Structure 1
């Protein structure tokens, strides 16, 4: 496995295997791909005040309408009940209700070099596997307008939500970006990649999501 990189947020200690919600533990089938290596600081990179509000609609990024699942949230092992505005058009996204098709959730920011480098791989995967796997980017502690411009420029047309305060990242317990989570059809986290993915690591995560559909 190659050594991946992530952009470290200041003042945080790397804690892997942390539950995604207070009082909850991730399921035993969680696949944890541990990475370490170089990191870059993010001082002064948080989004401006007020950017938690719904981002301005941007036609170049995908709408969030298909993400509005009506399935019940899992009792344990899922993402926190966090309602995030869509970066493009569409309703807010409730992360606790991403049930139905398996979902790949990628936490990223435009100021994060490793995020920028891996995003074309994720975009290509979304085109290849979009009929069976749902893809969702989560813009983390970033200016939505800048993030939208970047996503549009590289053609990352899958849906993105905005987490200006980094609440999801905090719940994961990792001090940097990128982070990619695999969510099974019941809404439970079954895979986690901390740091920049290469093609092989992304393929492994996608294979884990495909197995979750097959029940294995």
Structure 2
């Protein structure tokens, strides 16, 4: 009888372990759940790195927005920067591109941009308040905000041209899609 209990207990333990392992397979262990998807993007007012002008999300309402958090000390950011520049050239008429300097000095950021070149506004985030409100865990991270000001998604790590193209198309499809009220009109 005792042996039967041990065997049954061992079998239950094995089944439980298999269930836990089965749930874990197929998932990216580095993926962090993104709680802001589908929610209003936190508003911000930040200063432009080169002009000192204030830029706010509220002023951009009605347009798709791509926000990239980056730093000069970030190796993957150096790899990603030309892709974002390409994206600005290809899709800048369809979406507003913004860079946000993350945990970096203004001097280092300016030196990086002098070397790499840039064609869209780069913003300074003092004390990383905006990064915290967006839930930035590291750089690079790119956020996609639809014209209604809703975060449609984010990309963690250096974005590639295909992913950027797909995300921009999703944003512009949202911008061009009629609202329920517009679709119901005769």
Using structure 2 for the length normalisation, give the TM-score.
0.72
2:107 to 127, 133, 145: 145
- Matching residue of 1:43: none
Q: CA RMSD, aligned part only? A: 2.0
Structure 2 unaligned regions, length at least 5:
1-29, 179-186
| Bigger helix share | 2
Q: Is the 8 A contact 2:87 2:161 kept in 1?
A: no
Deviates most, 119-128 or 195-204: 195-204
Q: Show the counterpart of 1:101.
A: 63
Higher relative contact order (CA closer than 8 Å, sequence separation 6+): 1
Residue 191 (structure 1) aligned to one of 121, 128, 153:
153
Unaligned 5+ segments in structure 1 are 1-12, 20-25, 28-76
Report the alpha carbon displacement of residue 117 of structure 1 after superposing the two structures with TM: 0.7
Partner of 1:204: 166
Question: Who is 1:172 aligned against?
Answer: 134
Q: Deviations over 1:133-178 (max 9, x none)?
A: 1110011111112112211321212111111322222223342111
Change (3 A) 1:142 1:173: same
Deviation per residue, 1:167-208 (Å, 9 max, x gap): 222223342111101111121111211111122211111111
The runs of 4+ residues in structure 1 deviating greater than 6 Å are none
Q: Structure 2 matches for 1:36-51, cutoff 5 A?
A: none
1:16 CA drift (Å): 2.2
The Cα shift of 1:115 comes to 1.1
Show the counterpart of 2:35: 18
Which stretch has the larger CA shift, 118-127 or 172-181? Answer: 172-181
Aligned counterpart, 2:25: none
Report the CA distance between 1:128 and its aligned residue.
1.5
TM-score by length of 1: 0.63
Matches of 2:50 and 2:116 in 1, distance apart? 15
Other structure's SS at 1:193 match: strand
Structure number, greater radius of gyration: 2
Shift of the 119–189 alpha-carbon distance from structure 1 to 2, 3 Å rule, reads same
Conservation of the 8 A alpha-carbon contact between 2:80 and 2:158: yes
